[in-house]
Chains A and B, each alone.
Chain A
Amino acid sequence: MDKHRIRFLPLDITYLAQDGENLLDFAMDVGVHINASCGGNGTCKRCKVRLVEGRVDFCQDQALSVSGHGEDIVLACQTRIKGDAVFEIPLESQIDRSALKSRKSPNILSAPDSLASLGGISPDPVAYKINITLEPPGIDNNMADSERLIRVLKNSHNMGDVKINLNILKRLPSLLRNSGWDVTLTIAETDMGLEITDVQVGNTPKKQYALAIDIGTTTVCGQIIDLWDCSKTGSRVIGESADYNAQISYGDDVITRIMHTRKKGGLKRLQEAVVKTINLIIDELTDKAGIERSFISHMVCAGNTTMTHLLLGVEPRYIMISPYTPAFVFPPVIKGGDIGIKGLDNTPLYLFPCVSSYVGGDIVAGVISSGMAKEGDISLFIDIGTNGEIVLGNKDWLMCASCSAGPAFEGGGISHGMRAAKGAIEQVRINKKTYEPMILTIGHSKPLGICGSGLIDSIAEMLSAGIITENGRFNRELPTDRVREGKDGYEYVLCYGKETQTGRDICLTEIDIDNIMRAKAAMFAGCKVLLDSAGLYFNELKRVIIAGGFGHFLDPSKAQIIGLLPELPLERFVFIGNSSLMGASLFALSREYASEAERVARMMTNIELTNNNRFMEEFMAAMFLPHTDLRLFSKTLGVR
């Protein structure tokens, strides 16, 4: 596709843009500051630039947006690049050139679009469908229905020992006869061995879907996968949906959830809550994709150890009591009906194996989707979630640890925090002279809150602009109204109420900053201790894989400024988004990944950080921006 030359005045720098790219997104990418406070929604009218020459396209309401201004004034967020062009940035948006020089090449990582992935893997699922035709019984052959079925499987499909459970048996006689002895069986590998989990009338083997579900402490995400047909979109993932885990009303983190199970009926309540969320997600997925539930052959869930216990309704209490023993790490294969999943009573549900109390199936799923356990080079895998987990190693060895980072990066415990959904502020730049922000929201919607990546950006930018000091406190003497005293102490206003969805100002307070510092300090300290235990230095890492649903973008240089990520060349960072969900989808798609999950779970050595003195030490040292040990961030500090 054609690239267009976009020149910005008066900075006089030129960058190449894709055809059709949004001008504000593009400016954000290349590091050119344009004031923007409605997230690119077209309502704040602050992103005005002058089109000096060239050709552009406008989004629909552009005419509205610029009424009252000269013709050549355009709103950057409503402008699409259609050819070479020159834009002049007005005075109130300008920064000094020095800020630009420091930025050699833009390096914002975006999470892979999961809807486009999985296309290249040939399906070989743990549950598969086959069509068989049976000879109808006669007076000379009145063998029982189920034995008749099994004999066909044995003789023509070479399947020795297939079990039929009671649910299927009950439906079998009428099904066989109604179908005219032509049925499609779903045969799944379960704890019973090979098991017939469904019998359908007629020839339907190519209508097979699977559900992959990531059960996060904060968010539950699901995907529906078409196992045989990826012609429509070139992707097997035909739908995706996410919602808050309904357990949230019983506590923000795993510890409070476990505490809740001690109350009367608590365990059941939590199980029902998460199942309710899963049911809603399945409804949405199947509705949107227009698929009958009966064509779902199996489900795969990945969750942390506590979530896995709660989903199965197993007492999780000893997870939080020293010596931190889970009830199990290799979960049984269950049926949807066992836990109350609607319309999928007899459908097998596979859960990822866990490693320890605080390193669960979500991490095992993440590791298999990252591919790190298949490589010779050493990688560090970091999952930035409610409970930060880290894995270090390669194909021969893996070490893992969990550091209770808290839910800050998922928006938890942050006054205007939210998960990475529509309306979440996900990219932020702050002008170092005027302290005015440039923000982009997910979907360019009116801002609703701030998600993890927006928080990382905001804090890095506030620090670089001198709005906060290295201990996370506000500089109270700046000539800007955006830093002010609120009811929870000092705060910076990212968006004023008139630009937001709720009508309330979106701010970051000192308490928020403190929570994020704690979260990042726990993550970094965990990484440091894990590397120390393996006798490695950060620069020996070939790859740092970052996972987590905190946003669609991650700018590793910003994460380094706040000391969340170690100081390594930017090209060593990879951002893979929600890797737990991706791992679950891979498991659903192919048994190769199912066995890889087991291998990885068995291979991981867990390093316990709870009550670990070294961890506490490192945590304290990391409770600073970027870090108390300046030598670990000498380059970053130099740049700043």
Chain B
Amino acid sequence: MGFEIPKIRYTGKIKKVTLGYGERQVKIGGEGCYPFYTFEGDMPNPPRVAFEVWDCEPDDWQEWAIEPFRDVLHDPVLWAKKCIDVYGAELIALNLKSADPNGMNRDVEDVVEVVKKVAGAIDCPLIVWGTSNDDKDAVLLRRVAEVCEGKNIALGPLSEKNYKQIGAMAIGYSQVVMASTPIDVNLAKQLNILLGNLGVQDEKILIDPTSGSLGYGLEYTYSVMERDRMAALTQEDTKLQYPIICNVAQEVWKTKETRLTEQEEPRLGNEVRRSILMESVTAMSLLIAGADIVIMRHPEGVRLIKEMIGELTAE
């Protein structure tokens, strides 16, 4: 009798979510198996990488992070275009850094203006990442939902505190929301239930499980995502059957390991190579845990990850 490889019995499926509009819209989700377990099930839409773009000129970036974008960092529109035209971006994640009350605290309308411009200038799907300040986001992201009408953008993070205000607008303007909870399966589920009760459609929800960088809590995110997927795919937990998005860039590039130069700490080796690897290894791990979208900063890291996705999803 021949040996038969045991297979996992999947009883659930991740919901399909479409981002963007027109020709360049992107579909994610739909998988009926664990990440890249294509020998056991279907993974109709490969995971995607989104390029990070800021709404203002960063003032504390590492030289080697600035380098690929030096000519465009002063203008979010040019920056986004360069990601698409030069580096082949399929998705743009606009980070509204300047609105942060603990930073520049720029006025909502000024920030909304930038969002509008970027959204108008690109035709690939847009992700808008707020400040993670519940009150500011409640005002800001509502306006973002409004001005991006018809673009089917993803906006977030939505928390337990502001999901109602933002969620209601997202429904009104038919945008996708990113439901964000602090690394916990139950909390993630609860927010999804609340969004569902509010009237947000299933195909309009992404889970942001809160990401940690390699060396800074990645393992927590990893195991929570694993459990999200187990519950979703093998335990029919419908309230976890949503695609997952991880904001890798903002976590990785603030770590000490991406900041110290080789000169300052010879044992850590070349800083450029090291930083890119930090970002790609984090992204790779999260993809293997179940991420459907990873947001990344460095074009070289993005290239590595796309290659990996390609290889793992090849027939």
Contacts and interface: CB of A to CB of B under 8 A. Distances in A.
Interface string A119-143: 0000000000000000000000000
B190 A624 contact: yes
B11 interface: no
Interface residues of A, number: 12
Contacts of A598: none
Contact of B194 (A469, A621, A630, A631): A469
Contacts of B236: 631
A631 B236 CA distance: 10
Nearest to B168: A477
Contacts of A620: 184, 186-187
Contacts of A628: 186, 189-190, 193, 239
Nearest to A469: B194
B100 interface: no
B284 to A, nearest CB: 28
Given A470-B193, A630-B193, A624 B160 contact: no
14 contacts: A469-B194, A469-B197, A470-B190, A470-B193, A471-B190, A620-B184, A621-B186, A623-B186, A623-B190, A624-B193, A628-B190, A628-B193, A630-B193, A631-B236
Nearest to A622: B186
B8 to A, nearest CB: 20
Contacts of B190: 470-471, 623-624, 628
B186 A630 contact: no
Can you list the 7 inter-chain pairs with the closest CB atoms, starting with the nearest?
A620-B186, A628-B186, A621-B186, A628-B189, A624-B190, A628-B190, A471-B190
A474 to B, nearest CB: 11
Given A623-B190, A629-B237, A630-B193, 11 more contacts: A469-B194, A470-B190, A471-B190, A471-B194, A473-B160, A620-B184, A621-B186, A623-B186, A624-B186, A628-B190, A630-B239
A623 B181 CA distance: 14
A473 B186 CA distance: 17
A471 B160 contact: yes
A331 B173 CA distance: 69
A173 B193 CA distance: 80
A511 to B, nearest CB: 15
Nearest to B240: A628
A305 to B, nearest CB: 31
B172 to A, nearest CB: 15
Contacts of B237: 629
A510 to B, nearest CB: 12
Interface in B168-196: 184, 186-187, 189-190, 193-194
Interface in A612-640: 620-621, 623-624, 628-631
Nearest to B184: A620
Nearest to A466: B197
A52 to B, nearest CB: 40
A298 B236 CA distance: 59
Contacts of B160: 471, 473
A629 B236 CA distance: 11
